[in-house]
Amino acid sequence: MLRRHARAACTALAAAGMVLAGLQAGSATAAQPSPGTSPGAQSAARALGAADARPELLAAMGRDLGLTRAQAERRLVNEAEAGATAARLRDRLGASFAGAWVDGAESGTLTVATTRAAELDAIRASGATARLVGHDLAALDRAKAALDRAADASAPVRYVDVRANVLVVEEVRPGAAARLAAATGVPARLVRAVRVAEAPRPLYDLRGGDAYYMGGGGRCSVGFPVTRGTTQGFATAGHCGRAGQSTSGFNQVAQGSFQASVFPGNDMAWVAANSSWTATPYVKGSGGANVQVSGSVLQPVGASVCRSGSTTGWHCGTIQQHNTSVTYAEGTVGGVTRTTVCAEPGDSGGSYISGSQAQGVTSGGSGNCSSGGTTYFQPLNPILSAYGLTLRTGGTDPGPGPGEPQPGGTWKAGTVYAAGATVTYGGATYRCLQGHQAQTGWEPPAVPSLWQRV
């Protein structure tokens, strides 16, 4: 966690979560809906606004990932298409699915792993690279859950490395990973120990990335502006404050108060603002420019992600693992996403965004933005779902015009859907492929990257 006190940086904790392990390398120019979908269906890249990234975001990706502008543009489009393909394959493979990831400067290669040789041809037919491995993702996740229940600060980070098909345990004391595996009965063949010199620390320190100050002292960063009914506010990290604690904005003007907060266990909270503040669909980008938010589709392992925070500003990197667990002195937080983006105290609570898709809020990490580091974010969709919040987005489709029919069904804009959820719409049933908060313009027939008709 990255919260900064007025004079001293304090430690706190990390966050809750989600899992996605998949992507496919789509063409940056040939993003077309899947065969057999509705004539009005959008490609994944179009639906997620991947081709409309702002110049500030592309420039930051160029700086931190060594890309030209054209490469950054193609990478975002490829990642959107790869995520949709991987989600469809995960749905098809079921229990044999063992993870997915993108590689290459432009995320041009999607690899999908399976434990069944009979599935390799189907993976290749989708345009992805197929890999046969020994352990399915569900089995590795179950083993990680067992370790999570018994872990202490000597083995502070656990995650499934889908590329290596192994459960990684980072240890600050020699033998901690082996002792943890033995104590929980997790087979040693599933575990790889990685020695680290520094354990993650909490990063304590209405536009995403702007500073705000807690009534009892300290500074954090706005995550994403949201609404709840007519109330406006923002999502942020739970370790920044407790319910009832007052806040003031970047300009030290009275802002609002924490309505709910969870930490540890998860690292989620939301602040309701007073009438002087208005939620916007923006994150503070490079040089203070606005980066527009258009949705909350979680991106896959290997995808690019950028962070905005009130201490170090705008930095980019890649997503390393989802559903990571971190144990700090204060306790264990599960379900966070591990990234290569740097952060420092005061950046806590701030925004992580991939293209125009909101990913999560800064929780904790190690290192700094001078020498580099590892950070963890609490995924945003669980925060929206837990507190009944609606992400403030811009550029959404206005929906059907006057006289156009309104198809019936259980699908509803504003609802947060997890992968695997089913809805009805226009007389048909659809299964959610990628977790997201539904919005007008993303009706199931129109976005096959998010919904599969069943």
**Terminus-to-terminus CA distance in the chain, angstroms?**
41
CB atoms within 10 A of CB 215: 14
Q: Are 375 and 362 in contact (CB under 8 A)?
A: yes
Q: Of the candidates 245, 275, 278, which has an alpha carbon nearest to the alpha carbon of residue 260?
A: 245
Structure tokens at 40: 């009005």
Which one is catalytic: 257, 325, 348, 366? 348
Q: Is 424 exposed, middle or buried (0-12, 13-18, 19+ CB in 10 A)?
A: middle
* Cα–Cα distance for residue pair 414/436, rounded to 1 Å: 10
Half-sphere exposure of 302 (CA within 13 A, CB side): 29
Q: Is 24 helix (H, G, I), strand (E, B) or coil?
A: coil
Q: Return the amino acid letter for 264.
A: P
Which one is catalytic: 135, 239, 322, 436? 239
* Residue 210 annotated to the active site: no
* Cα–Cα distance for residue pair 134/381, rounded to 1 Å: 31
Which one is catalytic: 267, 286, 294, 436? 267
Cα distances from 436 to residues 154, 174, 221, in angstroms, run: 35, 40, 23
Q: Of the candidates 360, 282, 350, which has an alpha carbon nearest to the alpha carbon of residue 312?
A: 350
* Residue 5 annotated to the active site: no
* Residue 385 annotated to the active site: no
Structure tokens at 214: 């807690």
Long-range residue pairs from 176-184, CB within 8 A, at least 24 positions apart, any chain: 180/147, 180/150, 180/151, 180/155, 181/147, 183/150, 184/146, 184/147, 184/149, 184/150
Is residue 137 within a helix (H) or strand (E), and if so which, with residue range? Answer: helix 137-150
* Cα–Cα distance for residue pair 412/424, rounded to 1 Å: 10
Q: Of the candidates 145, 136, 138, which has an alpha carbon nearest to the alpha carbon of residue 184?
A: 145
Would you please indicate which residues are annotated as catalytic (active-site) residues?
239, 267, 348
